């Protein structure tokens, strides 16, 4: 659950639900792991000139990821200049144009759209932002497993209730709540729903 007034950064996969107008205030950088996986899948089916779009794009994105990791791990004195160069190369590669291959055109349209909104490699402009949503997915894994093996996902209402409840608990834990039980008790006693700190 994401509060309507949330104005932070939320690294997402490429699900179209994250492009909804409700997330206009949220900076939704896209997970580079998901994008690279999509590129690998498309490239696996391409031969010859049909690889001319995906192969260089994959290389540029891998370079961006490597630059971010190097900067995080060791500090890169020329990070800003290198990031700007990579960004310019990506901008050129993702320029609006017609491609012969329909899979490549789909990737260009989608990734170019995200790049135009500065959501593709936002981590180059602000290295505090992670380039993937791996940490968030690892944090969700226990809840996903619990939902799948419990009875709460036997109905749509049960699955929705479990998702909402788990989201609130995870948010309280991330906010450093001393006692999740005490905080939940306070929330249940509220007459008007209020914003839960993120």
Question: pLDDT tens, position by position, for the chain (198 residues)?
Answer: 455 555 555 555 445 545 555 555 556 677 888 899 999 999 999 999 999 999 999 999 999 999 999 998 888 889 999 999 999 999 999 999 999 999 999 999 999 998 998 889 988 998 888 887 665 556 555 666 565 666 656 677 777 777 777 778 777 877 788 887 888 888 777 756 556 555
Report pTM: 0.63
What would the two tokens of residue 118 be? 């500065």
* pLDDT number for residue 137: 58
Q: Give the pLDDT confidence score for residue 50 in this predicted structure.
A: 96
The burial class, CB within 10 Å (0-12 / 13-18 / 19+), for 11 is buried
Mutual orientation of helices 32-43 and 54-74 as an angle, nearest 10°? 150
Within 8 A by CB and 6+ apart from 83, the residues are 64, 67, 124, 125
């Amino acid at each position: 659950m994401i509060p309507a007034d949330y104005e932070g950064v939320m690294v997402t996969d490429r699900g179209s639900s994250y492009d909804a107008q409700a997330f206009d205030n949220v900076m939704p950088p896209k997970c580079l792991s998901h994008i690279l996986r999509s590129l690998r899948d498309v490239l696996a089916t391409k031969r010859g000139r049909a690889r001319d779009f995906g192969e260089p794009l994959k290389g540029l994105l891998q370079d961006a990821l490597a630059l971010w990791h190097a900067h995080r791990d060791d500090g890169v004195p020329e990070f800003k200049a290198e990031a700007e160069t990579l960004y310019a190369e990506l901008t050129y590669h993702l320029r609006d144009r017609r491609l012969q291959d329909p899979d490549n055109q789909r990737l260009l349209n989608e990734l170019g759209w995200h790049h135009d909104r500065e959501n593709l490699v936002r981590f180059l402009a602000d290295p505090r932002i992670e380039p993937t949503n791996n940490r968030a997915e690892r944090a969700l894994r226990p809840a996903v497993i619990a939902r799948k093996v419990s009875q709460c996902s036997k109905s749509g209402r049960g699955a929705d209730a479990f998702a909402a409840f788990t989201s609130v608990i995870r948010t309280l834990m991330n906010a450093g709540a001393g006692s999740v039980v005490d905080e939940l008790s306070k929330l249940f006693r509220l007459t008007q729903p209020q914003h839960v700190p993120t």
